[in-house]
Amino acid sequence: MGTFCSVIKFENLQELKRLCHWGPIIALGVIAICSTMAMIDSVLWYWPLHTTGGSVNFIMLINWTIMILYNYFNAVFVGPGFVPLGWKPENSQDSMYLQYCKVCQAYKAPRSHHCRKCNRCVMKMDHHCPWINNCCGYQNHASFTLFLLLAPLGCIHAAFIFIMTMYTQLYNRLSFGWNTVRIDMSAARRDPLPLVPFGLAAFAATLFALGLAIGTTIAVGMLFFIQMKIVLRNKTSIESWIEEKAKDRIQYYQLDEVFVFPYDLGSRWKNFKQVFTWSGVPEGDGLEWPIREGCHQYTLTIEQLKQKADKRVRSVRYKVIEDYSGACCPLNKGIKTFFTSPCTEEPRIRLQKGEFILATRGLRYWLYGDKLLDDSFIEGVSRMRGWFPRNCVEKCPCDAETNQAPEGEKKNR
C-alpha cells in the first residue's frame, strides 16, 4: 500500500494532462482499435480455447498490447529528464563553455537544449514529439525507441489476423476463384458457431483496422530506423545539425582542423549501451557524458558557442528552387520526404521559387528556418518560421548575407 501511495502523487496525477492532447489521443486510439479488433477477430479465426496454436496466438496478441502500452506510457510520463532549475557546473570556470538559459535561470548542461513546448531545458534533447506530448531525451529515449519497434511488430501480427479472418469468413460465402488455393480451413470450422457474427459491419471494421495496422507499420517503422541510426551513433537530431554547421564553418573559413563528434564512442555496441541497459535506467546522470579519446567534455558546447558568435553559421542561407505548398506530408516531393516528415507541431512554410530562407537546423530531408518577408536580410525584420523540404532549396553562394571574411581573415580564424 505504501508503494502504491508513493506512485500516486499529486505531481504524477498532474502529468495525466499530457494525455489531453491530439497526439496521445490519436496514438492511443489507434492502439485501442487495432488491439480490440485483433482480439475479436482472433476469436473468429483461431478459437484460443480449442487449440494450442490459438492459445499462443491470443497470448502473443495480449503481450504485444501490454508491452506497447508500457513503453508508450513510460515515454510519456517518465519524460526526458530536465536540467535542474538554477543548475551550474561544479567548477565555476567551466561555465565559460556553457550557454545560459534565462527562462530556467540555469546553465545548459552538455547535450541539453531548451524546449519551448515543455518550457524547460531538456537533457540530451532529441526532439519534442507530439505523439507522446513530451520531449524525447535522456531518460525516455529507450522507452520511446522500444515503442517504435513494438508498435510495428504488433501491427504486423494484427494485420495477419485481420487478413486471415476475412479470408476464412468469406471462404464459404463468396467465390473469387479461391477454390484453387490450398489452405487448411479446419481451424475455421467449428461447432458451435462463433459468438461474434461476421456481418457487413464486422467486415468493414476489420478492413478499417487493417488499413490502420498497415499504415502504422510503415510510418512508425521508418521512425524506428531513424531513431536506431541516432542511437548507434550516440547522437541526437539536434547534434547532427550542429555537426553539419561545424563542418560548414571549417570549410568556409578554410581552417586547418577537423571536427570530431565527442560522444560517438567508436563502437556501435558501446553507443547502444549508452541508451539501452538491463536495468532500464540509462547510463550517466544526464549532465556529464563519456567522451571519445582526444575530445573535451565541452567540445560540442564550445562549438555551439562558436556558431552562436559567428552570425554566418547561425543560419545558412538557401534559395528556393521549387514551389512548396506548405503541406505536412507532400506527396510530390519524393517518397523519402513524404515518410520522413518531422513529427512536430511546428508549422510548415509555404515557399515560392526565388524566395530566400535562413535555415537554423534540419534533418536529412527537411530543414527548419526563417523566411524573411521582405528583401532585406537584417536582424529583427519580420519573418515566418517553420519546416520545409530540403529538396526545394539550394544553398546560396557566399555573399553579403554570409558576412564573408577577407581572404587573410579566413586563414587566420
Q: Between residues 250 and 24, which one has the greater pLDDT?
A: 24
Q: Residue 111 and residue 97: Cα distance in Å, rounded?
A: 12
Output 200 or 129, whichever has higher pLDDT: 129
Instruction: Using the predicted structure, report yes or no on whether residue 410 has a pLDDT greater than 60.
Output: no
Of 29-43, 297-311, 348-362, highest mean pLDDT:
29-43
Domain residue extents for the chain? 13-80+139-176+195-233, 237-264+274-310, 315-375+383-395
Is the predicted pLDDT of residue 379 greater than 80, yes or no? no
Apex 211 CA angle, 64 and 182, nearest 5: 85
Higher pLDDT, 42 or 343: 42
Residue 101 is a catalytic residue: no
Q: Among residues 34, 101, 115, 129, which one is catalytic?
A: 129
What pLDDT does residue 345 have?
74
H or E element that contains 113: strand 113-115
Residue type, 337: T
pLDDT at 377: 46
153, 71 in Cβ contact below 8 A?
Answer: no
Average pLDDT of 234-240? 90
Where does 352-396 show beta strands of DSSP type E?
A: 356-362, 366-372, 383-389, 393-395
The answer on pLDDT for 1 being more than 50 is: no
* 315-375+383-395 is classed CATH 2.30.30.40: yes
Angle between helices 141-171 and 200-232 (to 10 degrees): 150
> What does the pLDDT look like over 185-233, one tens digit per residue?
444 445 555 555 677 888 899 999 999 999 999 999 999 998 999 999 9
Does residue 119 or residue 317 have the better pLDDT? 119
pLDDT computed for residue 196 by the predictor: 56
Average pLDDT value over all residues in the chain: 82
Q: Using the Cα atoms of residue 350, residue 352, residue 356 and residue 360 in order, give the sign of their dihedral.
A: positive
Cell numbers at 383, concatenated = 519573418
Per-residue pLDDT at 185: 47
Find out whether 375 and 354 touch, Cβ atoms under 8 Å. Answer: no
> What's the rounded Cα separation, in Å, for the pair 346 and 143?
24
Residue 49 pLDDT = 79
List, for residues 22-32, the tens digit of each pLDDT value.
999 999 999 99
Distance CA 292, CA 235 (A): 13
